[in-house]
Amino acid sequence: MTRIDDTPTAWDERTQLTTFLDYARDTARAKCDGVSAENARRALLPGSPLMTMSGLINHLRWVEYYWFHVVLLGHEDEGPWTDEDPDREMRVAVDFPLSRLLDEYAEQTARNRALAAGLALDTRAQRPIRGGVHVDLRWILLHLTEETARHNGHLDILRELLDGTRG
C-alpha cells in the first residue's frame, strides 16, 4: 500500500495528487481484505439498501471510468447506470464475486494511472460538468481522491458492523 505519512520534504504537485489518490485507492482495497462473500453483499443501513462493500467497490470502479473516460476524454458513456436506475452499478454488484469487482477496480485504476501520467495537469476535460465548466486533470484527481476517501469511511463502517474488523 502506498504510504503518505512519511512524505519527502518536497514533492511536486503531480506526485502529491497521484500519491494521495493511490493511497485512497489502496485503502479501499485493503478494507475488503478477508471479507466473506456473504458479507460483501450485505446491506446494513436501512436508509441505504444499496450500500454494500461490493456496491461501493463497483461504484468506485465506475466513478473512475466516468471521470477519466467520459468527462476527460469525451468518450460515450457506457456505464451500467440508466436514467431509471442511476445507482445501478451498486445494485448489480451483489451479482458478482467481490474478488472480480476488486480486480476490475484495480484494472480501471491502472489504466487511469497510465492515462494521467501522459497528460499535463492543465489538460481540460472534453465534456463539461454541471454549470458548463470544463475541469482539468488536476481537478479530476482531487475529486477522485475526495470521492474515494469518502467511500473509504463507508467501507470502514460497513466492515466493522459486518465482522468487527477495524482500522
- pLDDT (0 to 100) of residue 61: 98
Res 8 pLDDT > 80: no
Query: pLDDT tens-digit profile of 17-40?
Result: 999 999 999 999 999 999 999 999
User: Taking the complete model, does pTM exceed 0.85, yes or no?
Assistant: yes
- pLDDT (0 to 100) of residue 72: 98
Which domains occur in the chain, in start order? 21-163 (1.20.120.450)
Res 99 pLDDT > 90: yes
Q: Are 80 and 62 in contact (CB under 8 A)?
A: yes
Chain position carrying cell 475526495 = 146
Residue 136 three-state SS = strand
Q: Rounded distance, CA 26 to CA 12, Å?
A: 21
Grid coordinates representing 148? 474515494
Which residues are registered as beta bridge partners of 67? Answer: none
Query: pLDDT tens-digit profile of 127-145?
Result: 999 999 999 999 999 999 9
- pLDDT (0 to 100) of residue 11: 84
Question: Positive or negative, the Cα torsion across 114, 119, 125, 129?
Answer: positive
Q: Rounded distance, CA 41 to CA 94, Å?
A: 5
Query: pLDDT tens-digit profile of 52-86?
Result: 999 999 999 999 999 999 999 999 999 999 999 99
Tell me the mean pLDDT in the region 93-113.
98
Res 90 pLDDT > 80: yes
H helix count then E strand count, the chain:
6, 0
> Checking phi first, is residue 165 left (phi over 0); if not, alpha (psi -120 to 50) or beta?
beta
Res 2 pLDDT > 60: no
